[in-house]
Structure 1
Amino acid sequence: MVAIPRIVIAGTHSGTGKTTVASGLMAALRTQGFRVAPFKVGPDFIDPSYHTLAAGRQGRNLDAFLSGPEMIGPLFAHGAHGADIAIVEGVMGLFDGKSGGGELASTAHVAKLLDAPVVLVVDARAMARSVAAMLHGYSTFDPQLKVSGVVLNRVGSSVHEKMLRDALRPLNIPVLGVLRRDDAIQTPDRHLGLVPAAERREEARRSLDALGTVVSSSLNLDGIVNLALSAGPLEAEPWNPESAALDLPGSVRVAVATGTSFSFLYRENLESLEAAGAEVAFFDPTTDERLPAGTDALYLGGGFPETYAEALSANVAMRESVRVFAESGRPVVAECGGLLYLV
């Protein structure tokens, strides 16, 4: 049983501004002294990179498809240990899951597994009274879900804001914030979503600081915290990295690719290795010339090696180091972009 105040930031669809609201909220609450535990629904590595910078604490994933619904509570309890509040950013639209006909792995599914209230982010551009019909639909579609507040994003003016608030008043769902259209708080994106924070760390840090300031003045932080406090105790035991039961032969050093080209890693995988007694040694295939000394196993995760293909290709010394290691018969795990690098 864990008692962590928690809230889910959801959207009507992709591109509504969930990451803007969630990351800004994390930064704003951190500035106020809260220890914020950041989470992202689904197998997303990019948004958590911004959560990590905003909260000053490792961003984690809650993926009911990959981990199974039964693991959501334990993984949440593990990641939220020692925090004052947990902010969970949703994925796609609120009810979009693994398949069009079911809720598996959707934001709504994870919110119900966590028994957490939902704040819906609505892109209010070119919209007036229709916002009420939209919010009514989302708040009544699943009676087991608690849509407890709304944030209106990309509002054009004070007149536009009044029209939206007037339309929503009969629903008795509180408007917890209004964000105006502002290109200054936008984050660059490309084919898989936002550009990872690892590729623009200092710029991302400055942007998140500015975003936190905007959110502090535009959202009702006290109302959001009170809403998070309304979530009751969660019946879950924290996941234990030692439960992975890895059988390692003595002391093992695992080299893990990182840097701008390989930034997609599940933190729990590394924690499981360390709990089993392995030493995790990070290296950057774009700049380092050889694998860490004493490497016993190699882990190449995902990322954007295609974006840094020239630098990776030019680093002949590292490529040769990896080739010799692989040909020696020692363990190599490669996934996603890591597999492309080996090819």
Structure 2
Amino acid sequence: MALGRGLIVGAPASGVGKTMVTIGLQRAFADWGLAVQGAKCGPDYIDPAFHAAAAGRPSINLDGFAMAPAMLRGLAAHVASTVQLVVAEGAMGLYDGARAQDRSGASADVARLLGWPMLLVVDARAAAQTVAAVAHGCATFPGAPAIAGVIANRVASPRHRQMVEDGFARIGLPLLGAISTDDGLAMPSRHLGLVQADETDALESRISAITERVAAQCDLDAVFAAAGATADRPMQPPGIRPPGQRIAIARDAAFSFFYPHMAHWWRAAGAELHFFSPLADEAPPADCDACWLPGGYPELHAGRIAANRRFLDGLRAFGQTRPIHGECGGYMVLGRVLEDGEGMMHAMAGLLPVETSFARRRMTLGYRRARLRQDSRFARAGQELLGHEFHYVSITASEGEALADMADAEGQAIAPAGHRVGHVTGGFFHLIA
């Protein structure tokens, strides 16, 4: 069976409109009647939710740092086997990534590994002919992937468009679109990026308006023709075992940061996933043998979580006999106290000896290499686990045993992190592979 073709929407920098162009293309091609798959290069939970809303199927993360090349190619082939087109979104600038010797995770490297061309989005807001020079530099930088074409965003007027076109007439890159400025198309954002898709007001009408603009001002036929073939590669085992046979996974507006590829891998290994909502005061299902609390935005719902006795009592009872693991926001809920951004203190589950605060904000982000100090249900002690941290919280009190020894993307040791108490573990580390 032929695999769907793919392309990656990249940019010279963050904030130029990659997400807008990506979801506009995804919905426009879906409106053609194509089966379209969304994907995100790198660690991100929020953008893929918009992809899912636009394309009508769950998005997937293709992480060039945490996933070995064979694993990355196998995952791309798997998702391409069910669709006609994969429209992936890059992260940050197309060459931005970790300073790691083996792999950077940069969007350009993912494009080259997969053989998918890059559709470059450039911001024309403060330039004209120079926009083409920026695109030319991206296309000729050492190690550049194939650049299929360019879409200029935030074009102010027909005359401005003509000036941008004059620049592209001097280089060998086709200008496949010029999208006019419209601040009303911007998605609302908060400290971790865009506001989550299921919290965005009038999301469907926003996506429709973006799609109408992209379809009218971009050459969709040329964009589709530029997509590259996907090589047929077998799926690679992830090296991460499911934490149980029947896994209870928290899922709602406070616990939404769970990678779809992890669900796929766990199901492929024979595990059953059972989702529950702490915000609806649901406890982990009693017939499950492991519980996973993903990250999300518990600080926005801390008062409600603290008041949900059925959830907290059920979580405490579960942890007496069965493993619970919390990532980032889930880790904070497993702790003793969570201080929200207004300085209000909220009692959490008290299963781990840690207290956290959003009132004393401290940004921490980056790829991480973790090695657990003891065996867990999902990984062996000493096995290198690859993932990332991204949060704005401070630890205000901490004691007890650390969960893992940590290093940054380059392998430089940083402070041990997380906690382990009995069957309960957690940390700010988001596991990717």
TM-score by length of 1: 0.92
Give the equivalent residue in structure 2 for 1:124: 124
1:209, distance to aligned residue in structure 2 (A):
2.0
Give the equivalent residue in structure 2 for 1:205: 204
Give the equivalent residue in structure 1 for 2:29: 29
Give the equivalent residue in structure 2 for 1:90: 90
Stretches of structure 2 that go unaligned for 5 or more consecutive residues are 336-433
Bigger shift: residues 313-322 or 81-90: 313-322
AA paired with 2:197?
Answer: A
Give the equivalent residue in structure 1 for 2:344: none
1:268, distance to aligned residue in structure 2 (A):
2.1
1:297, distance to aligned residue in structure 2 (A):
1.1
Matched, 1:263 2:262: no
In structure 1, C-alpha distance between the alignment counterparts of 2:127 and 2:243, rounded to whole Å:
58
Contact 1:78 1:240 in 2 (8 A): no
1:103, distance to aligned residue in structure 2 (A):
6.4
Q: 1:236 aligns with which of 216, 233, 249?
A: 233
Q: 1:312 aligns with which of 305, 308, 313?
A: 305
1:313, distance to aligned residue in structure 2 (A):
1.5
1:177, distance to aligned residue in structure 2 (A):
0.9
Aligned pairs for 1:1-343 within 5 A:
3-99=3-99, 104-142=104-142, 144-200=144-200, 203-228=202-227, 231-237=228-234, 239=235, 246=241, 252-326=245-319, 328-343=320-335
Contact 1:150 1:176 in 2 (8 A): yes
AA paired with 1:67?
Answer: M
In structure 2, C-alpha distance between the alignment counterparts of 1:247 and 1:339, rounded to whole Å:
18
CA distance 1:102–1:74, change in 2 (3 Å): closer
1:122, distance to aligned residue in structure 2 (A):
0.4
In structure 1, C-alpha distance between the alignment counterparts of 2:261 and 2:148, rounded to whole Å:
31
CA distance 1:163–1:305, change in 2 (3 Å): same
Higher relative contact order (Cα pairs below 8 Å, separated by 6+ residues): 1
Contact 1:198 1:263 in 2 (8 A): no
In structure 2, C-alpha distance between the alignment counterparts of 1:247 and 1:149, rounded to whole Å:
42
What SS is found at the alignment partner of 1:33? coil
Bigger shift: residues 28-37 or 314-323: 314-323
Q: How many residues align?
A: 335
Note the alpha carbon deviations across 1:72-118, whole angstroms, 9 max, x for none.
Answer: 11011112222011111100001001129996100100000011111
Note the alpha carbon deviations across 1:295-318, whole angstroms, 9 max, x for none.
Answer: 221011111111221221221221
CA distance 1:283–1:216, change in 2 (3 Å): same
- Displacement over 6 Å in runs of 4+: 100-103
In structure 1, C-alpha distance between the alignment counterparts of 2:255 and 2:149, rounded to whole Å:
37
Note the alpha carbon deviations across 1:45-76, whole angstroms, 9 max, x for none.
Answer: 11000001101111000111112233211011
CA distance 1:262–1:306, change in 2 (3 Å): same
1:333, distance to aligned residue in structure 2 (A):
1.6
Contact 2:129 2:165 in 1 (8 A): no
Which structure is higher in strand share?
Answer: 2
What SS is found at the alignment partner of 2:4? coil
1:187, distance to aligned residue in structure 2 (A):
0.4
Contact 2:16 2:122 in 1 (8 A): yes
Contact 1:244 1:272 in 2 (8 A): no
CA distance 1:180–1:198, change in 2 (3 Å): same
In structure 1, C-alpha distance between the alignment counterparts of 2:241 and 2:282, rounded to whole Å:
30
Contact 2:80 2:86 in 1 (8 A): yes
Which structure is higher in helix share?
Answer: 1
In structure 1, C-alpha distance between the alignment counterparts of 2:243 and 2:101, rounded to whole Å:
42
1:2, distance to aligned residue in structure 2 (A):
6.2
1:27, distance to aligned residue in structure 2 (A):
0.7
In structure 2, C-alpha distance between the alignment counterparts of 1:191 and 1:51, rounded to whole Å:
20
In structure 2, C-alpha distance between the alignment counterparts of 1:193 and 1:332, rounded to whole Å:
28
TM-score by length of 2: 0.73
Contact 2:286 2:318 in 1 (8 A): no
